[in-house]
Amino acid sequence: MIEATGTGVRRFAPGDKVFGFTGFRLGACAEYVCLPEAGSLEHQPAGIGFEQAAAAVDGPSTALYFLRDRAHVRSGQHVLVNGASGSIGTYAVQLAKHLGAEVTAVCSSRNADLVTSLGADHVVDYHREDFGSHHDTYDVIFDTITATSFARCRRALTQHGCYLPTTGLINWPLGAWTALRGGRTVRPGMSVEKKAALAFVKDLIESDGLRIVVDRNFPMNRIVDAHRYVDRGHKVGNVTVTVRG
């Protein structure tokens, strides 16, 4: 919530509920943070609370960047989301469907109902199957948790399919090599904080086109427990922290 603004600020006023990125200032868990009016900040979507708004920033913006801006997903394509029950994956499933794709979600069997409810057409239980050796092929494989590699899932891609790793710089050389070679490609990237992405997400949430999944919320005095819980690697959707003065 906006506590105070500078004299020249026009987009926001004290009392406005907002959501957005803190950028290189960090401070996401600070009680107060100062951000520029022109920064990656938007009015909070109507109908949701602070906890949900906090979980609707990084995940959907990252998924949107990779699926829409890097892979250019379009209607009729088959998209596989690895880590479909995570903070990026839960949004990736929904956004891929929004873009018109047929979606296969990779997660544990205990999260199969969740990802199906988010729009997944097919579910692969990674405990029982290796999608990389599956008989199906995909136009896009979005590895939201960096749990596989281009080499491991290359055969699961269509002739001109692309692999999307969320690890940025380390995959740029491979991305450049596959782009020159043609055929199946690696398209790495680093999600950039953009107001336009936040506005898109806001509109989608307000039109009931995007569901926010929050696993647990921790109070500020248990922030260490929150990090430990996330580090276990089995959270579903997002984990949030309530900051109180």
With 0.85 as the threshold, say if the pTM is over it. Answer: yes
> Does the CA dihedral 190-193-196-202 come out positive or negative?
positive
Other beta carbons within 10 angstroms of residue 64's beta carbon come to: 24
DSSP state of 72: -
Are residue 127 and residue 161 in the same domain, yes or no?
yes
Chain mean pLDDT for the chain: 92
Are residue 178 and residue 199 in the same domain, yes or no?
no
Structure token digits, residue 239: 């984990």
Other beta carbons within 10 angstroms of residue 13's beta carbon come to: 10
Are residue 89 and residue 131 in the same domain, yes or no?
yes
Mapping DSSP to helix (H, G, I), strand (E, B) and coil, where does residue 13 land? coil
Within a domain: 13: no
pLDDT tens figures, 128-142: 988 877 678 999 999
Cα dihedral 162/186/197/243 (nearest 10): 120
pLDDT at 245 over 60: no
Number of residues in the chain: 245
Looking at the 3D structure of the chain, how many domains does it have?
2
Are residue 37 and residue 67 in the same domain, yes or no?
no
Are residue 128 and residue 40 in the same domain, yes or no?
no
Are residue 160 and residue 200 in the same domain, yes or no?
no
Q: Residue 211: which CATH number? A: 3.90.180.10
Expressed as residue numbers, the domain containing 81 is 62-186
Within a domain: 52: yes
CA distances for 199 relative to 32, 60, 68, 192, angstroms: 23, 11, 15, 14
Domain C-terminal end among 168, 186, 204: 186
CA distance 123 to 112: 6
Are residue 70 and residue 180 in the same domain, yes or no?
yes
**Structure confidence at residue 191 (pLDDT):** 76
pLDDT tens figures, 173-230: 777 888 888 888 989 888 777 889 999 999 999 999 999 999 999 999 999 999 999 9
Contacting residues for 195 by C-beta, under 8 A, at least 6 apart: 39, 40, 41, 42
Mean pLDDT of 30-44: 91
CA distance 195 to 182: 33
pLDDT tens figures, 83-94: 999 999 999 999
**Structure confidence at residue 190 (pLDDT):** 81
CA distance 3 to 64: 30
Contacting residues for 207 by C-beta, under 8 A, at least 6 apart: none
Are residue 172 and residue 199 in the same domain, yes or no?
no
Are residue 66 and residue 172 in the same domain, yes or no?
yes
